[in-house]
Homo-oligomer: A and B are copies of this chain.
Amino acid sequence: MKKQELDTPFVLIDLDRTERNIAAMQAIADAAGVALRPHAKTHKLPVLAHKQLQAGAVGLTVAKLGEAEVLAEGGIRDLFIAYPIVGRQKIERLIRLSKQVNVTTAVDSWESASAIAQAAAEAGTTIGALVEIDCGFGRVGLPPDDAALALAERIAQLPGIELRGVSTFGGHSYGAEEEGSLRRIGEEEGSCAVEIAKRMAELGIPAVTVSCGSTPSARYAAGVSGVTEIRPGTYIFGDLMQVAIGSHALEHCALTVKVTVVSRPEAHRAVIDAGTKLFTSDGADSPIGTGRGYAVNRPGITVAWLTEEHGMLELDEAEQDRLKIGDTLEIVPVHCCAVMNMVDEVAAVRGDQVEAIWQVQGRGKSR
């Protein structure tokens, strides 16, 4: 099947670009001598996780247990859950998962760690853990100070948990306005994690893994001596948010939404058949002056605003004469991870050829 035959809206994954992006981030990790453990929240697909492993990744990262379960079912054998696991039902699932695959989880509280440890000990198993610290984003993770070390010491003594190191996530890299500040955030992310790892080692807790995240900051964190692993996700597709930060080139963006023009109410306006239910409201407008998306090869089109099922286009003079009802466009979204979460299936394309329709097995796995 050709992509021209797909009804719209349909999410397209360009395989050549995806494979290029996988190879490029692997090359960055290899050059820095760190492991790459991609975050699967971007693609949510075992088939792409396997491509990342084949290129050299050591395992995958997920946020939620439900995503981990989907990847485990899809044959992925090494997973890091970069999220605090809280509550009896989730801990039971974690224990079950740990019997199928090698699983490590982030911990940032005694409540979570002690409950996991107790359940694991009772089940006769051991769960790997990294202490999550906050390198400045202000989300989860303890501040990188004595409290984090005190938690690490307590956790290290628990049966049922094997404390393996430190993890952090420099999510504030998304706010970086130029490469210098991006580099600084990435390097601080790395050195912050390395510093805690060193102090853990002094306390007799070997930190085998020192893991940093974020597509924009990963290449800089990877260069910090002592960092052992990076966990970028978005790099596999790229989107306008990454283009804005300077961490992805527009011509390497691999995910687009194929849409159809369904209304031409005025000469300077058109409406496409996808709105926030495809593109989401995530992120700010495109940094390249094209609004809520970028229409591939159509610089005269601005994706001006969105409602749930409608995308409103503003047209320059050339497009006013050119764009007709029934025409299709491909739009690069502002935030690709969010788009993957809106759809049940995507088309994997190479050139014009649809190689596969993939069910987005990890979609909506919020638990």
Q: What does the 1/0 interface line of A222-266 toward B look like (CB < 8 Å)?
A: 000000000000000000000000000000000000001111111
A308: which of B277, B326, B338 is its contact (CB, 8 Å)? B338
CA distance A63 to B108 in the complex (A): 44
User: Main SS of chain A's interface residues?
Assistant: loop
Q: Does A134 contact B (CB under 8 A)?
A: yes
Q: Does A64 contact B (CB under 8 A)?
A: yes
For residue A304, which residue of chain B has the nearest CB?
B138
What's the interface size class on A, roughly? 35 or more
Q: Does A94 contact B (CB under 8 A)?
A: no
CA distance A366 to B344 in the complex (A): 10
CB distance from A131 to the nearest CB of B (A): 12
Contacts A8-B367, A263-B84, A342-B364; is A140 near B310 (CB within 8 Å)?
yes
List of B residues within 8 angstroms of A277 by Cβ: 338, 341, 364, 366
CB distance from A293 to the nearest CB of B (A): 15
Give this chain's copy count: 2
CB atoms of B9 and A367 under 8 A apart: yes
Q: Does A289 contact B (CB under 8 A)?
A: no
Q: Does A20 contact B (CB under 8 A)?
A: no
A86: which of B63, B273, B309, B312 is its contact (CB, 8 Å)? B273
Q: Does A37 contact B (CB under 8 A)?
A: no
Which chain A residues (60-109) contact chain B, with CB distance < 8 Å? 63-64, 83-87, 89-90, 108-109
List of B residues within 8 angstroms of A83 by Cβ: 262, 309
Beyond A7-B367, A343-B366: 5 further Cβ-contacts under 8 Å? A8-B87, A108-B265, A138-B312, A308-B337, A308-B341
